[in-house]
Structure 1
Amino acid sequence: MMLTFRARPAELPISMPDQAFDTGPTRNAKAPKSFRWRKVMVFSLSLALAVWATVEMYHVLDVSGVTTLEKILLGVFSLNISWIAYAFVSATIGFLAALAGLFNAHRSRASSGSALISGRTVIVFPIYNEEVERVFATVESTAESLTNAPGRFECFILSDTNDPEIALQEEAAFERLRSRLAPGSVVHYRRRTMNLHRKAGNIRDFITRWGGRYDYMIVFDADSFMERDTLIELARRMDASPETGLIQTIPQLVGGRTLFARTQQFAAALYGPVLGSGLAWWAQNEGNFWGHNAILRISALANAAGLPEIPGRAPFGGSILSHDFVEAALLRRAGWNVQIAPELGGSYEQGPPSIIDLSIRDRRWCQGNMQHMAVLLKTRGLTFTSRMHLIIGIFSYLASPLWLLFITVGMLLSLQNMFLKPQYFGESAALFPSWPVIDSERSLNLFLITMAILFAPKLYGLIYGLASPRWRRTVGPVKTFLSVIAETVISVLIAPVMLVEQTTAVYRVFSGRDGGWNPQARDSNEYTLHDTFRHHAPAIVLGTVLNVSAFAISPIFAAWLAPATIGMLLAATLSYWTGRTKSGDFARRMNLLESPEEIEPPQSYLESVADRPAYHNLDVPSLTHLFADRNLRNRRTHIVDTHWPLAHSEVHTPLALARARANRLATIDEYISALEPKEKLALLNSPGDLDAVIDEYSMRGLHYSTGTT
């Protein structure tokens, strides 16, 4: 395979039609089935535990009748405990499955053989205004790792960048990248002219233009890293299983430097195998898709998972933001296997460096998951398991406002009992008043049991770490135990902060505010203390109100509520402290929150970091330089993708405005200064129009930068 210097290969399009939500079941009757008893077992046990806890809560409240507020409290509790019960049962099964995996060493890197891979695989890198040196270094290291691989692999950078300066940086980085690639490594680059339907639209544009060239597609995020053996194994599994449409790995976190990032990294490394194994065990061939670090069969995705827009305006309508869950559900509806592979290692990503950065990302995810309500209501033919994936995703955000509602109603009950006029008699005739009284002993027992099942996954993770040969060899039992204690303390303090953040995100969606699509922060922004106080002001105010109200009821009540209120009161301080690299370095010096991936970093991550300096000092021309130098313009024409998805009579407004401004401004300097970013990008994406504007100024006889004749 020879190195190509073309930015893109010849197009080989395939169709990817929109899938109608209201179509009837289209499942393939011959599709491999899953063991139904596993799902029945998980959800039956979860339901039984939730019902038991709800009945116990009813008896706690029903000492002398249940008041209206107590009925509301009971209803909210039943929803919350259902979520906790499912998480506990799934984690318990995952714990047993993960332990079983430890005793079968071959499962750590299960292989489907060593034969050549017949299918052609493309590794796509969808990017959007990302840090250029990080992305292109990862592309380079990934492409070169697959040189002489037993199969045909290519890399394809799919840029949706709409910042003109970053767009020019990407072009310069691609020039640098292709000059560094070894023979046998193939990398292509395409930047879209129009950012339709965000990431899902980016992938769709690729499939409908080049999808016929490839059999399989491995999707990276801008912060993804995958080992060579893992990439090859994913392609082999696809070759060996023609009924499989998607295989999702479980990425581990790497590269975290702040205390927050290292806490998340440690938790993912220790608890991730337990939680992932549980999900894979009961979902089986009806797994889920998380949008990256997964392989998809392109023909299956094209034929079965073209996403339509949801009717209506954002945030509930429009393009589906959390497209991955829906694509997995549609693939399964069409009869394709959708698998989760917890036993397959070598898959990594980077997490947000701070609470603020996580919250910004969560707003987009929350909006996307709330859109799944419409998908559930409108889409026919989805399997029960696919619907459960969507419901779990929705509830992962609704749980926060529900817990806040539970706290609020509980406080109102206490206030009613102490300060407000009691409701002596209900609507029906009664001889005795209805007082809000609870069974305190039963309440304490229920609280302790709830806390036990809530923290059980952490205990499972600890046992898993102590049993894992790799954890014992790299981290060690003592450091693992102490790190679990540290992670638990930090998580307990941060949990109320995230409760407020996610409640705010849900409120924003239901109030009609579109969260937009912003690039994710990959490195620490080192927010100032002022920034953190401003961002977390709602949490601090809410914590103050709850704390004052609790003390007004009784110091004991305030002590019970302290785990929630302390985190809220310290929200800004926690956010500032955990988001600093110094705090992460301190934890490292204390030998806390270390994971095997930190002690023995994966090769894919190390190679990517090692390649970053090559992209530090790029020769990036400015728009002004392009106007002045025709050679610079000619050099980039082979990189620019001039595909404009416009109807015959349709006009791209920014490009039309850019052309029109040339008729009104006397000098090129004035013209460039007047251009909006969208107009600059439109010109960069249309070399012909860029040349036409420059020729127009030349025909007027104007000298560059002077405006004189």
Structure 2
Amino acid sequence: MDKLRKGEISALENDSSQDDSSQDYSPQVDSEHQTESEHQTDFHTLSAQSDIKLGMPVEHSGDMPAQSLSTVNVGVQHVPINPNGCRSHAWRRWLVLGAALLLSIWGINEMRSVLTVESATFVQYLFLLLFGLTFSWITVAFSSSIMGFFLVLRQRRFPPEPLTTKLMSRTAVLMPTYNEAPEQIFASIEVMASAINEIGEGSAFDWFILSDTTDPEIIIAEEAGFHLLRERIGKTMNVYYRRRHQNTARKAGNVADFCRRWGSDYDHLLVLDADSLMEADTILSLARRMEADPDTGLIQTIPQLINGTTLMARLQQFATCVYGPVVGTGLAWWTDKEGNFWGHNAIIRTAAFMSAAGLPDLKGKPPFGGHILSHDFVEAALIRRAGWSVIIASDLGGSYEESPPSMIDLAIRDRRWCQGNLQHSRIITAKGLHWVSRIHLLTGIMSYLSSPLWLLLIMVGLGLSLQAEFIRPEYFANEFSFFPSWPTMDAARALSLFIFTMIILFTPKLLGFISYMLDGKSRKSAGGFIVLTFSFILEVIISALIAPIMMLIHSGAVMSILMGQDSGWDPQRRGDGSLPVKYLIYRHRWHMIFGVFLTFAAYFNSLALLAWLSPAIAGMLLSVPLSMLTGSLWLGDMIKKMRLLQTPDETQRPLIRQAMDEISLIYEETLRRCPSLVELASNPQWHTIHLAFVDHIPPRPRGQVNSVEATAAMKISDALDINQAVSYLTKQEQAEVLSTLNLFKALANLP
């Protein structure tokens, strides 16, 4: 065969499967996994026989203990090297949070006046409580975005001087993946690593693909893609691949497994997602900032969404580009040294992470117990608790990721995030956390609880209207009085409060739009003043229609979690978001039914109430066509041709994205011809490649039988040849065979 660079692999000298060809695999014989030393010996023998390198470097075990939430381990506390290295500016919190508090008090008092609480009913008290919770929630974003607006303008005029020092530290770049498209993963690793190497800093970075993939076809494609990656850049840069046998604790467990086995060899970890892409200058800036500030434990970038093909993806992409800088910069400013972690596109000091951020399992079963799903917020809080600073680098661009292509995909992702954030209710009271870290955790909780609170507010507001319409008022109290007690509501004040609430709600978007409009380069890249204005209006209208649907989706997610339902772990779709109409009707059936209910309830009360609720009702009644259209590639392409919702990277694509587009084609072409499991086991060349990438599995304790492994072993022993054995195996069993050395060798030894 020709080399994989041309679509195939290079010929290897020996067939490593011949070493065990005389051994008769039998499931009755104890099939306990090899010890680590035997496994490494096997690999080194394999490496000597061929030009295939092992998937991972030699292990150097390190400790990453699970942290207690009830006690603080003083032994891991970091003593600041710089006197003010971990000290934040308190006045920033007073300014932002103090302003939000004053606004909240004013708004709640206004609503109290509107409801004339002196003679209020229980329903009015409940309405006031719900209004207070929801109104207070949006005031923080309002005050924070005002500061962010002025900071963004200043950063454009006076950008910070970049660090240019030669890197002395070593950074492991980690890309965890779970059943994702391999061609995108390996293409992104290649373009980032090559860009770093061209600058002359390639020796400071090692690149790791950490797979938790369970689909056997994608597993084989990953191995073929990694072999191609090694052939293309492996001679100048260190690239590695490891797939876990069991994906315990999901992404957090994947990264923790790396840390315990290889993390001690590196000063920093740059954690990515499978859809992440970062400019070389951004990666280098992160590493240099970590070197320059020995008290920093974590630096988080603010990723920009890219590659949006559907209307939904383009809406999110436009929003993060236009509104994101104002919101993110304001957040970074007031949180200061108590920033947050969003799980990817961030650099972490390995010593801080391994010593202080090991995650405990929560007592009980999912959804509130078990592994911590939204691990990032918790890891940031634990790193800060240990005395390290956590910073959001709002001034760094060149950090990219992708977004879900449809409302349904967004709902699936948010269901998992909702469960993880509600788990934080058991962590927010952990001993020793900084109060700003607790606010981050509360923010995560409220980002999902706010939906059922808004829903309850609508329902209670409807109840108030029904009460006023159908319940006979008591004009005279039990006490003697010459004058009746009229049930009044201050309509003028209610209208003023509504307008003010809308101003609070939409100010972050408006300030983002204004700041973007004031930047000539950004304005031109978005199509100019008129096109940008139409894009802004389009985003506001569609987002307003989608908002009530997402409110119901999040409310349903909260309810299912409270009922004890676990989210599972499904891979995220990318690109096309289209789904069959029947499926969309099924997924949105309750949203439409609730919209019909609100319509009739409001209509029989008053036309004014129906008009008041019409924006929310319209979104619910139109949920199916909205979901279909926003997930459509055709409509997304039409919007793109009209230059609406356009972002700068679409008009002048960064060089790294141009390179990504070109290199992805090479991987796509190669992976279209990757082998099947039958070819992998029967072809000596593919066989050797696979054995080099199989991860070590710890010995199985006697008496604890893996039922999938045992069943696969029986099926293999029953088969007369490889084709028959593979036809017997389920997908789960095929993945087990690919993970287990003994099973794969038994399969390969068949005729």
Q: TM-score range by the shorter chain?
A: over 0.9
The answer to whether residue 517 in structure 2 is matched with residue 463 in structure 1 is: no
The answer to whether residue 260 in structure 2 is matched with residue 208 in structure 1 is: yes
Is 1:223–1:522's contact at 8 Å kept on the other side of the alignment? no
Q: CA deviation at 1:102?
A: 1.8
Q: 1:408 aligns with which of 448, 454, 459?
A: 459
Task: Tell me which residue corresponds to 1:707.
Answer: none
Q: In structure 2, what is the Cα distance between the partners aligned to 1:293 and 1:130?
A: 17
The answer to whether residue 150 in structure 2 is matched with residue 100 in structure 1 is: no
Is 2:310–2:577's contact at 8 Å kept on the other side of the alignment? no
The answer to whether residue 679 in structure 2 is matched with residue 625 in structure 1 is: yes
AA in 2 matched with 1:395: M
SS at match of 2:395: coil
Judging changes above 3 Å, is the alpha-carbon distance between structure 1 residues 657 and 186 closer, same or farther for their aligned structure 2 residues? Answer: same
Q: CA deviation at 1:530?
A: 2.4
The answer to whether residue 556 in structure 2 is matched with residue 508 in structure 1 is: no
Is 2:68–2:360's contact at 8 Å kept on the other side of the alignment? yes
Q: CA deviation at 1:194?
A: 1.1
Higher mean C-alpha deviation, range 214-223 or range 279-288: 214-223
Q: In structure 1, what is the Cα distance between the partners aligned to 2:206 and 2:614?
A: 54
Task: Tell me which residue corresponds to 2:535.
Answer: 483
Task: Tell me which residue corresponds to 1:654.
Answer: 708
Task: Tell me which residue corresponds to 2:61.
Answer: 13
Q: In structure 2, what is the Cα distance between the partners aligned to 1:434 and 1:550?
A: 27
Q: In structure 2, what is the Cα distance between the partners aligned to 1:399 and 1:434?
A: 36
Task: Tell me which residue corresponds to 1:383.
Answer: 434
The answer to whether residue 693 in structure 2 is matched with residue 639 in structure 1 is: yes
Q: CA deviation at 1:627?
A: 4.4
Task: Tell me which residue corresponds to 2:726.
Answer: 672
Is 1:64–1:437's contact at 8 Å kept on the other side of the alignment? no
Judging changes above 3 Å, is the alpha-carbon distance between structure 1 residues 382 and 648 closer, same or farther for their aligned structure 2 residues? Answer: farther
Q: In structure 2, what is the Cα distance between the partners aligned to 1:366 and 1:287?
A: 21
SS at match of 1:307: coil
Q: In structure 2, what is the Cα distance between the partners aligned to 1:177 and 1:329?
A: 36
Task: Tell me which residue corresponds to 1:116.
Answer: 166
Is 2:52–2:689's contact at 8 Å kept on the other side of the alignment? no
Higher mean C-alpha deviation, range 465-474 or range 482-491: 465-474
Q: CA deviation at 1:219?
A: 1.0
Deviations 1:521-557 (A, max 9, x none): 1211321222222211111111111111111111111
Higher mean C-alpha deviation, range 674-683 or range 568-577: 674-683
The answer to whether residue 129 in structure 2 is matched with residue 79 in structure 1 is: no
Matches within 5 A, 1:165-176: 165-176=217-228
Q: In structure 1, what is the Cα distance between the partners aligned to 2:330 and 2:500?
A: 21
Judging changes above 3 Å, is the alpha-carbon distance between structure 1 residues 647 and 115 closer, same or farther for their aligned structure 2 residues? Answer: farther
Matches within 5 A, 1:209-224: 209-224=261-276
Normalised TM-score (structure 2):
0.88
Task: Tell me which residue corresponds to 2:230.
Answer: 178
Higher mean C-alpha deviation, range 116-125 or range 662-671: 662-671
Structure 2: gaps spanning 5 or more residues: 1-50
SS at match of 1:146: helix
Task: Tell me which residue corresponds to 1:691.
Answer: 745
SS at match of 2:58: coil
Is 2:322–2:513's contact at 8 Å kept on the other side of the alignment? yes
Judging changes above 3 Å, is the alpha-carbon distance between structure 1 residues 472 and 686 closer, same or farther for their aligned structure 2 residues? Answer: same
The answer to whether residue 176 in structure 2 is matched with residue 126 in structure 1 is: yes
Task: Tell me which residue corresponds to 2:611.
Answer: 559
Q: CA deviation at 1:185?
A: 2.2
Judging changes above 3 Å, is the alpha-carbon distance between structure 1 residues 28 and 208 closer, same or farther for their aligned structure 2 residues? Answer: closer
Task: Tell me which residue corresponds to 1:701.
Answer: none
Judging changes above 3 Å, is the alpha-carbon distance between structure 1 residues 599 and 646 closer, same or farther for their aligned structure 2 residues? Answer: farther
The answer to whether residue 72 in structure 2 is matched with residue 24 in structure 1 is: yes
Judging changes above 3 Å, is the alpha-carbon distance between structure 1 residues 583 and 693 closer, same or farther for their aligned structure 2 residues? Answer: closer
Is 1:194–1:644's contact at 8 Å kept on the other side of the alignment? no
Is 1:127–1:160's contact at 8 Å kept on the other side of the alignment? yes
Q: CA deviation at 1:437?
A: 3.9
Q: 2:144 aligns with which of 73, 77, 90?
A: 90
Judging changes above 3 Å, is the alpha-carbon distance between structure 1 residues 429 and 24 closer, same or farther for their aligned structure 2 residues? Answer: farther
Is 1:39–1:282's contact at 8 Å kept on the other side of the alignment? yes
Judging changes above 3 Å, is the alpha-carbon distance between structure 1 residues 555 and 46 closer, same or farther for their aligned structure 2 residues? Answer: same
AA in 1 matched with 2:541: V
Q: CA deviation at 1:360?
A: 0.8
Task: Tell me which residue corresponds to 2:33.
Answer: none
Q: In structure 1, what is the Cα distance between the partners aligned to 2:196 and 2:699?
A: 33
Q: CA deviation at 1:203?
A: 0.1
Higher mean C-alpha deviation, range 21-30 or range 33-42: 21-30
Is 1:132–1:166's contact at 8 Å kept on the other side of the alignment? yes
Deviations 1:306-341 (A, max 9, x none): 001111100111111100000000000001110001
Matches within 5 A, 1:533-548: 533-548=585-600
AA in 2 matched with 1:187: V
SS at match of 2:119: coil
Q: In structure 2, what is the Cα distance between the partners aligned to 1:68 and 1:239?
A: 59
Higher mean C-alpha deviation, range 498-507 or range 594-603: 594-603
Is 1:328–1:338's contact at 8 Å kept on the other side of the alignment? yes
AA in 2 matched with 1:137: A
Task: Tell me which residue corresponds to 1:190.
Answer: 242
Deviations 1:456-475 (A, max 9, x none): 11210121012223213422
Higher mean C-alpha deviation, range 460-469 or range 263-272: 460-469
Q: CA deviation at 1:626?
A: 3.8
Is 1:500–1:539's contact at 8 Å kept on the other side of the alignment? yes
Judging changes above 3 Å, is the alpha-carbon distance between structure 1 residues 435 and 668 closer, same or farther for their aligned structure 2 residues? Answer: farther
Task: Tell me which residue corresponds to 2:40.
Answer: none
The answer to whether residue 453 in structure 2 is matched with residue 418 in structure 1 is: no
SS at match of 1:538: helix
Q: CA deviation at 1:506?
A: 1.0
Judging changes above 3 Å, is the alpha-carbon distance between structure 1 residues 423 and 304 closer, same or farther for their aligned structure 2 residues? Answer: farther
Q: 2:196 aligns with which of 142, 146, 154?
A: 146
Q: 1:67 aligns with which of 96, 121, 126?
A: 121
The answer to whether residue 212 in structure 2 is matched with residue 164 in structure 1 is: no
Judging changes above 3 Å, is the alpha-carbon distance between structure 1 residues 227 and 369 closer, same or farther for their aligned structure 2 residues? Answer: same
Is 1:65–1:435's contact at 8 Å kept on the other side of the alignment? no
Q: In structure 1, what is the Cα distance between the partners aligned to 2:473 and 2:732?
A: 62
Is 2:263–2:350's contact at 8 Å kept on the other side of the alignment? yes
AA in 2 matched with 1:354: S
Q: 1:258 aligns with which of 310, 315, 319?
A: 310
SS at match of 1:381: coil
Deviations 1:51-80 (A, max 9, x none): 110110011001771111000000000000
Q: CA deviation at 1:35?
A: 0.9
Q: CA deviation at 1:371?
A: 0.4
SS at match of 2:340: coil
Q: 1:232 aligns with which of 284, 308, 324?
A: 284
SS at match of 2:270: strand
Task: Tell me which residue corresponds to 1:336.
Answer: 388
The answer to whether residue 399 in structure 2 is matched with residue 399 in structure 1 is: no
AA in 1 matched with 2:739: N
Is 2:680–2:690's contact at 8 Å kept on the other side of the alignment? no
Is 1:121–1:235's contact at 8 Å kept on the other side of the alignment? yes
SS at match of 2:565: coil
The answer to whether residue 354 in structure 2 is matched with residue 321 in structure 1 is: no
SS at match of 1:289: coil
Q: In structure 1, what is the Cα distance between the partners aligned to 2:308 and 2:317?
A: 7
Aligned length: 689
Task: Tell me which residue corresponds to 2:100.
Answer: 46
Higher mean C-alpha deviation, range 125-134 or range 659-668: 659-668
Higher mean C-alpha deviation, range 664-673 or range 575-584: 664-673
Structure 1: gaps spanning 5 or more residues: 699-703, 705-709
